Amino acid sequence: MSSSNRTVPFFNYPSLFVEEEAKMVEIFTDVCRRGAFIQQRDLEEFEQRLGEYVGAKHVLGIANATDALHLALRAVGIEAGDEVIFCSHTMVATAASIHYAGGVPVPCECGPDHLMDPASAEAAVTSRTKAIMPTQLNGRTADMDAIQAIADKHGLMILEDSAQALGSKFKAQCAGTFGKAGCISFYPAKTLGCFGDGGCVFTNDDEVYHNLCLLRDHGRDAEGEVRLWGLNSRLDNLQAAILNHKFKSYDQAIARRREIASQYQERLGAISTLVLPPAPDSDDRHFDIFQNYELEAEHRDQLRSHLTDRGIGTLIQWGGKAVHQFKDLGLTQSLPYTDQLFKRLLMLPLNTTLTAEDVDYICDCIEQFYDSKTTQHAA
């Protein structure tokens, strides 16, 4: 058992480059020799390719997903005092984007699948609510029928934080394409990662697209006339060129992620002290891409150090707090389900550099941990 020298990092950052080093250098050289740094053809090609892939009319590369959300909220017309409901089990970026668009972030509970709980979202609706912004967390898309029903009933816009969900689907429709706009992140550890920060927005709305084109580029239109107060938040052409290449093998990467999730399911499914994410083929309305493998574990902290001692990297998402739990942000909502859940959440490694042996080793160590617990109790 602990005689193994195997180590499994949570995420292998150098692999993004070294797995295809020669190709990456070639792309760098090509783009730089062309002097094609800002808003060039690599970006246009990437935007077009992504749009075809997810079935979105418009795609705009943005500097990162946080900006993408912020600009999308502005582009759809969120104004000072407008309330936007989001699920508290998300990155603080979701709420910060609402804040910086001038809106009021209103957190709600997540459900047993760790995604926005529709009942809690609906209970948070007031006369000032303008939009509902589910996070398509861990690479799974929420039940968008339920969220659409709330939006329809109360006249709300839907925006999606689909930063973790490129290619994830609910009833064959891709995350990020359900509402007025959705965002994707190309942060290195995301399922499609670039060499730094990157993101994009999807929208099917021509006016939102037009606003976003202005907002990301100093408010300037094609003639250079400044039409509104904009920002500089463009996706670098060099990053787009790298993403363009990595995207060619994206479907294989997702298939491999789903395979790893199946292996975890097979090996850990019988352990009663764990609650695993839904298995890849457990519900045919959902196509999950497994950005993360986030489970609920009894004795979570002890399990985590047991794994650390055996060379296995794990992560507790968001540093262990839901957004409403960061006291200095001043959110006062009480979300007891999420509070309880956050004592039990843990993410196991899930990325395309893992081998079947790595996954087996992780599962062996987890089994061993709970076996020794049972023995202790019996004694």
Ligand X SMILES: *Cc1c(COP(=O)(O)O)cnc(C)c1O
Using rule CB under 6 A, residue 88 touches ligand X: no
Shortest Cβ distance from residue 164 to ligand X (Å)? 4
Does position 161 interact with ligand X (CB under 6 A)? The reply is yes
* Complex with ligand X: residue 150 or 159, whichever CB lies closer: 159
| Token pair of 175 as six digits | 């995350």
Using CB under 6 A, which of the segments 87-95, 230-238, 328-336, 354-362 binds ligand X?
Answer: 87-95
Residue 292 interacts with ligand X (CB under 6 A): yes or no: no
Rule CB under 6 A: say whether 107 interacts with ligand X: no
Q: Considering only 148-156, 159-167, 209-217, 340-348, which stretch makes contact with ligand X by CB under 6 A?
A: 159-167
**Among residues 208, 155, 145, which one has the least CA distance to residue 181?**
208
- Residue placing its CB nearer to ligand X in the complex, 188 or 311: 188
- Cα separation of 83 and 281, whole Å? 36
Check residue 135 for interaction with ligand X (CB under 6 A).
Answer: yes
Does residue number 93 form part of the binding site for ligand X (CB under 6 A)?
A: yes
Least distance CB 98 / ligand X (angstroms)? 12
To ligand X, the closest distance from the beta carbon of 353 in angstroms equals 19
Q: How far is the CB of 214 from ligand X (least distance, A)?
A: 21
Q: Which of 129, 185, 191, 338 binds ligand X (CB under 6 A)?
A: 185
Distance between CA atoms of residues 205 and 217, nearest Å: 19
CA distance 322 to 90: 7
Does 163 sit near ligand X (CB under 6 A)?
yes
Residue choice 88, 164, 244, 314 for contact with ligand X (CB under 6 A): 164
Task: Return d(Cα 108, Cα 120) in angstroms, integer.
Answer: 6
Q: Which stretch binds ligand X (CB under 6 A): 88-96, 101-109, 297-305, 347-355?
A: 88-96
User: b or e along 346-355 (b: 16 or more beta carbons within 10 Å of the residue's beta carbon)?
Assistant: bbbbbbbebe
Looking at 14-22, 90-98, 167-175, 205-213, which segment touches ligand X (CB under 6 A)?
90-98
Which among 23-31, 51-59, 85-93, 235-243 is the span making contact with ligand X, rule CB under 6 A? Answer: 85-93
Q: Which residues are known catalytic residues?
A: 190
Q: Is 187 in the site for ligand X (CB under 6 A)?
A: yes
335 versus 366: smaller Cβ distance to ligand X:
335
Residue 90 near ligand X by CB under 6 A: yes
Size of the site for ligand X (CB under 6 A): 15
| Nearest CB to ligand X, comparing residues 138 and 244 | 138
351 close to 258: Cβ distance less than 8 angstroms: no
| Among the listed residues 254, 279, 281, 262, the one whose alpha carbon sits nearest the alpha carbon of residue 352 | 254
Distance CA 322, CA 340 (A): 11
Which amino acid belongs to residue 13? Y
Q: Is 196 left (phi over 0), alpha (psi -120 to 50) or beta?
A: left
Q: 58 vs 89, which CB is nearer to ligand X?
A: 89
> In this chain, which of 24, 54, 60, 91 binds ligand X, going by CB under 6 A?
91
Least distance to ligand X, CB of residue 199, Å: 4
- Report whether 156 contacts 129 (CB < 8 A): yes
What mask of x and - would describe binding to ligand X in positions 27 to 66, judged by CB under 6 A? -------------------------------------xxx
In the bound complex, what is the minimum distance in angstroms from residue 355's beta carbon to ligand X?
A: 25
Least distance between ligand X and beta carbon 28 (Å): 21
Which residues in this chain contact ligand X in the complex, by CB under 6 A? 64-66, 90-91, 93-94, 135, 161, 163-164, 185, 187, 197, 199
